[in-house]
Structure 1
Amino acid sequence: MDDTNSRFDKIEPKIKEDSFLKNKGMGNEVGYYIFDYPPEDELIVRQRIHELKEKINNNDYGFKILEFDLYEMIIQILDSKGYLEKTFKFENDRGRDFTRNAIDKVLKLSLDSNLIVNHIIENSEPDSVIFITGVGKVYPLVRSHNILNNLHQQLDNIPVILFFPGQYTGTDLKLFNTLEGSNYYRAFKLVH
C-alpha cells in the first residue's frame, strides 16, 4: 500500500510535464502509459484517481482528466443497445461462455469498429489526459491489451494512462499478478 501511494504521488507531477501533455513518449512515439499496482490496492487506487481528477478538473491546469471505466462503458453500451437484460438471461440460461461470446459480438471487440474504443475516441477532448480504469472489473470479457492496441491505432493526440491491477514488465501485462501475461510493447511504465 505504501509503495502504491508513493508511486501514485508521482503521477500528478508527471502528467503536468509539457512533454507528457504534448503526448510524446520516449523519442517521438505516442504517449501510452501504464500504471501497474498490486491488485489488493484496487480501492486505494480508485480513491486516489478520484482525488486527482477532482484536483485537476476543478483547477486551471490547462488540461482535464477524462476517466473511462471499462466496466461502466460496457454496462452503458449494452443498456443503450437493449442487451443488458438479455445478457443476464443469457448467462442464466446458456452459461458464461455463451454470454461472453455474445457480449464480444455486441461490443465488436475483435473488430476495427470496437464499440469501447469508439466510445473513448468519440468522448475524448483536446487538452485532456485519458485514464482507463476498470480493467479488473471487466475480466474476462475484455482484455486491456486489446483495447490499447486498437486505441493506439486510432488515437495519437492525447496521452492515455491504463491503470492495471497486476504487473507490467515493459513487455508483458500480467493481470492480478497471476494470469498468464499478454505481450504488449507499445506503452511506457508511467512511474517506477
Structure 2
Amino acid sequence: MAVQTVSREYYKNRRSLSERFAEMDEKIKVPSFRQSTGKANEVNYWVFDYPPEQELEVRSHIEWLKKRNSKGFDDYELIIYDLYDIIIDRLTEKGYIEKTKKLESRGGIQHVVTAIQRMLRITDKDNYLVRYMEEHTPENAVVLITGIGKCYPILEAPEVFNKVLYNLPQKFAATPVILFYPGTYTEQELVVFNEFVEDSYYRAFRIAR
C-alpha cells in the first residue's frame, strides 16, 4: 500500500469540522436526499472524511445526532453501524476471540485479516455484513457507517463499498449511506489516516466540502 502525506494546501482549503457537520446535517433533513439515488443515477452513497485527530469530536456529533433522532425530531430513522463492533460481536458469538489473538501472535496481522474476512464471507455477495444490514435497516432510514478506522486493515473502505454496499438488495437504492472516514477522500482516491493510499474509488460523493 502506498504511503502519501496529504498536502497542506488541501487542509488550508477545507472548512472547519463544525461547518462541515452543519452542511451534512442540513442535507440529511431534506426529504429529496432520502429519495434520490445519488448523482447521475448513481447509488446514494456518501463519505464524510475528517482528520483522524478529530475522531472524538466526530463520535460526539454522531452521538448527538442519534439522541436527537431518538426523540422524534426527524421524519426518518437514523441507523448507525459500527463495523468494528459488528465484527467483534460476530467473533464473540462464534467463540473466535482467543483463537484470533493466538493467530496474530503466531502468524501476524495478515493471517488475522484473512481469517476474519473468510469468517465474514466478505468475497461472497451474500456475505455476513450484507445480511446484517439487510436485516437491521428499516424503511425510510439514513445509515451512518462508523468504525472503519478501528477495523483497519481487516476491512478497508473500498472493500466496504465494493463488497458490502454494492451487494445490498435493490430496496436500498434510495437509502442514503454515509461512511465516516478518518482520512481524506478526494472522489478519486481514499487516503486512510492521511497516510496510506487505498484503492482508487470514484462512485461515492463527499457529503460536505
In structure 2, the residue matched to 1:183 is: 200
Residues of 1 paired with 2:136 and 2:98: CA distance?
Answer: 25
Query: Aligned pair 1:96/2:109, yes or no?
Result: yes
- Comparing 58-67 with 165-174, greater Cα deviation is found at 58-67
Q: CA deviation at 1:2?
A: 7.3
Q: CA deviation at 1:177?
A: 0.9
Paired residue total: 192
Q: 1:113 aligns with which of 94, 107, 126?
A: 126
Residues of 1 paired with 2:99 and 2:36: CA distance?
Answer: 40
In structure 2, the residue matched to 1:152 is: 166
Matched-pair contact (CA < 8 Å) for 1:130–1:158:
yes
In structure 1, the residue matched to 2:8 is: none
- Comparing 60-69 with 20-29, greater Cα deviation is found at 20-29
Percent identity over the alignment? 38
Q: CA deviation at 1:134?
A: 0.5
Matches within 5 A, 1:1-192: 3-150=16-163, 151-154=165-168, 155-192=172-209
Matched-pair contact (CA < 8 Å) for 1:117–1:147:
no
| Cα offsets for 1:134-187 (capped at 9, x unmatched) | 111000000111111231232323110000011111121111111013211111
Let me know the Cα RMSD of the aligned residues: 1.7
Residues of 2 paired with 1:17 and 1:167: CA distance?
Answer: 26
Residues of 1 paired with 2:198 and 2:30: CA distance?
Answer: 31
1:17 counterpart letter in structure 2: V
Residues of 1 paired with 2:198 and 2:90: CA distance?
Answer: 28
Matched-pair contact (CA < 8 Å) for 2:125–2:167:
no
| Cα offsets for 1:85-115 (capped at 9, x unmatched) | 2112222333322222111211112222321
For 1:158, what is the secondary structure of its paired residue?
Answer: coil
